[in-house]
């Protein structure tokens, strides 16, 4: 079922967003003249719990959807970094929390018809506030500590809009339920 890429042409290049146009051949010989692919680095997100068991959530404005969303901490994996290192770095940068245990839950892809990246999902426990936020110039993040059962209810009421984060939450609650 794999396609053969006959040629690729880059349309734009940015550190977190590269667009290319591929010319492909399907197994039956059909030529697909234009197939557009957005290349992005691997990303990570985490349901992080404080040492007292509260979820560390973040609220921030997301310009592409023109809305302020409640989300999980996360971001892109930097070159040379593991996903686990990236999630610990992102959590510390976005929230100032450091965690003691990090459990890999799953690897998912948001939209493989267009995007070529994966997102690694984690559950982390033992969070302790260690520093202030260290945000990028274009970030404004509000930290929200929320009881875990309230997060579960918020998830079921569709209060989380970021699909990768809802996947992480479902996997995390499944893992937490299996540990009971």
- The distance in angstroms from the start CA to the end CA of the chain is 42
Tally Cβ neighbours within 10 Å of residue 122: 27
Q: What pLDDT, on a 0 to 100 scale, did the predictor assign at position 1? A: 86
In whole angstroms, give the CA distance from residue 104 to residue 125.
12
Domains of the chain (ranges plus CATH)? 4-39 (no CATH), 43-178 (3.90.79.10)
Q: What angle, rounded to 10 degrees, do the helices at 163-178 and 148-156 form?
A: 130
Instruction: Label residue 94 by pLDDT band (50, 70, 90).
Output: very high
Residues 6+ apart with CB under 8 A from 49: 55, 56, 123, 124, 125, 126, 127, 148
Q: Which pTM was predicted?
A: 0.91
Residue range 29-57, pLDDT digits in tens: 999 999 999 999 999 999 999 999 999 99
| Nearest CA-CA partner of 123 in 157, 82, 173, 59 | 173
Residue range 103-148, pLDDT digits in tens: 999 999 999 999 999 999 999 999 999 999 999 888 899 999 999 9
């Amino acid at each position: 079922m794999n396609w053969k890429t006959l040629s690729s042409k880059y349309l734009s290049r940015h550190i977190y967003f590269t667009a290319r146009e591929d010319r492909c051949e399907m197994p039956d010989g059909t030529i697909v003249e234009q197939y557009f692919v957005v290349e992005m680095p691997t990303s990570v997100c985490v349901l992080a719990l404080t040492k007292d068991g509260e979820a560390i959530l973040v609220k921030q404005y997301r310009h592409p959807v023109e809305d302020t969303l409640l989300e999980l901490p996360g971001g892109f994996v930097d070159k040379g970094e593991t996903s686990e290192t990236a999630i610990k770095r992102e959590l510390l940068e976005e929230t100032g929390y450091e965690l003691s245990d990090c459990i890999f839950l799953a690897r998912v892809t948001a939209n493989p018809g267009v995007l070529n990246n994966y997102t690694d999902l984690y559950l982390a426990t033992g969070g302790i506030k260690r520093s202030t936020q260290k945000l990028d110039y274009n970030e404004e993040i509000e930290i929200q500590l929320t009881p875990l059962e309230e997060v579960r209810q918020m998830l079921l009421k569709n209060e989380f809009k970021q699909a990768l984060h809802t996947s992480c939450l479902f996997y995390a609650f499944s893992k937490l339920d299996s540990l009971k």
